[in-house]
A and B are shown apart, each in its own frame.
Chain A
Amino acid sequence: MSSNAAAVSSTPVISVHDLRKRFAGVAAVDGISFEVERGEVLGFLGPNGAGKTTTMRILAGFFPPSEGRVRIAGHDVVTESMAVRALVGYMPESVPLYHDMRVEEYLDFRSRIKGVALRDRQTRIGVVLERCLLAEVRKRIIGQLSKGFRQRVGLADALISDPPILVLDEPTIGLDPNQIRQARTVMKELGRDHTVILSTHILPEVEMVCRRVMIIDKGKIVATDSVENLRAARGHASVRVEIRGDRAQVKSALAGVPGVESIEELGGADGVQRLLLRQGAGQDVREGVAAEVAKHGWGLRELALQAITLDEIFGRITTGAGIEGEAGATPAAGGNAMSAGVSAGVGPTPGGGFEPGSSTGRQP
Chain B
Amino acid sequence: MKFMALLQRELHAYFFSPMAYLIMAAYLFFTGYSTAFIFDIYNQNRLDLTMREIFSTMEFFSIFLVPLISMRLIAEERKSGTLEMLVTAPIDDLTIILAKFAGSLVFYVVLHIPTLVYLYVMHQHANPEYGSVITGYLGLLLVGALYLSIGLLVSAVARDQIVASLVTFVALFVLYTISSYAQSITSTAFGIPWQKVVAYIGFLTHYESFRKGVLDSRDLVYFSSVTVVFLFLSVRALESRRWR
Chain A residues within 8 Å of B, Cβ to Cβ: 57, 60-64, 82, 85-86, 88, 90, 92, 94, 96-101, 105, 109-110, 112-115, 157
Contact = CB atoms under 8 A, between A and B. Distances in A.
Interface in B82-105: 82-92
B242 A92 contact: no
B87 A62 contact: yes
Interface residues of A: mostly helix, strand, loop or mixed? loop
Contact of B89 (A94, A96, A105, A113): A113
Given A62-B84, A63-B242, A100 B90 contact: no
B13 to A, nearest CB: 7
B83 to A, nearest CB: 8
Given A62-B241, A98-B9, A114 B89 contact: yes
Contacts of A90: 85, 88
Category for how many chain B residues contact A: 20 to 34
B82 A97 contact: yes
Chain B binding site: helix, strand, loop or mixed by DSSP?
helix
B80 interface: yes
Interface string B65-93: 00000000000000011111111111110
A99 to B, nearest CB: 8
B5 interface: yes
Contacts of B17: 100
A96 B85 contact: yes
Contacts of B189: none
6 contacts: A82-B90, A85-B89, A94-B81, A98-B13, A109-B5, A113-B5
> Which 8 pairs between the two chains have the least Cβ-Cβ distance?
A96-B81, A112-B5, A86-B90, A85-B90, A96-B82, A60-B88, A113-B89, A90-B88
A64 B91 CA distance: 16
Given A62-B88, A96-B82, 17 more contacts: A61-B87, A61-B88, A64-B243, A82-B92, A88-B88, A90-B85, A92-B85, A97-B85, A98-B13, A99-B80, A100-B12, A100-B13, A109-B8, A112-B2, A112-B4, A114-B89, A115-B2
A173 to B, nearest CB: 14
Q: Which of B2, B13, B88 has the most CB of A within 10 A?
A: B88
Given A92-B81, A92-B84, A100 B16 contact: yes
A87 B87 CA distance: 14
B98 to A, nearest CB: 13
A189 B243 CA distance: 37
Interface in B173-221: none
Contacts of A113: 2, 5-6, 86, 89-91
A112 B1 contact: yes
A123 B147 CA distance: 42
A150 to B, nearest CB: 12
